[in-house]
Amino acid sequence: MTDAKRIKAQLYARCLAYVEQRIETARSSMEAAQEAANSETKSSAGDKYETGRAMAQRERDMSAAQLAEALKLKKDLEQINVEAVYELVQRGSLVITDQGNFFISISAGKISLDGVDYFAISLASPIGTGLINRKVGEEIRFNNRWYRINDVG
């Protein structure tokens, strides 16, 4: 396995763990909100009961939206082939620049491997849209800084 493939496999695993954690957190929050809504008992102050149920329902709805977003991220991640090596930047690429290292996947933030920092970014991110379809030697401007592409894998 080439170095780029090994690094991409490790970055992919970290992104997957990130998404799985988000899915688990959202599911747990949904269940807790549903239990809270179900356990609200009718009190003599009926408005308090209705307010508590409405708040629990809002919390459940927010958690459901977070779950849907996390499941979408997982689906996006599953479309990546870490075995492929690319010449042009695209989904699944490992991009090494003079200003930082990027794994074009999902927006999962900074990931450190063996003392080297990588940023998991989506193609839809501002820097992702700047990098798409670029190749080694090309430069892009992002946040008033020039990024020179040194390697694409």
- What pLDDT, on the 0 to 100 scale, is given for residue 49? 56
pLDDT of amino acid 41: 53
What does the pLDDT read at residue 26?
92
- How much is the pLDDT for 44? 46
Predicted local distance difference test score (pLDDT) of residue 120: 98
Among 59, 25, 66, 67, which residue's Cα sits nearest to residue 40?
Answer: 59
Helix axes 46-78, 3-39, angle to 10 degrees: 160
- Helices within 79-142 (DSSP H only): 126-131
- Cβ burial 46-63 (10 Å sphere, 16+ → b, else e): eeeeeebbeebeebbeeb
The pLDDT value recorded for residue 102 is 98
Three-class secondary structure of residue 15 per DSSP: helix
- H/E stretch holding 24 reads helix 3-39
Residues across the chain: 153
- pLDDT for residue 40: 61
CB–CB of 26/67 below 8 Å?
A: yes
For the chain of 153 residues, list the mean pLDDT of each consecutive stretch of 10: 87 97 92 77 55 80 92 95 93 96 97 96 95 97 96 95
63 near 33, Cβ under 8 Å? yes
pLDDT score, position 48 = 58
Residue 36, pLDDT score: 77
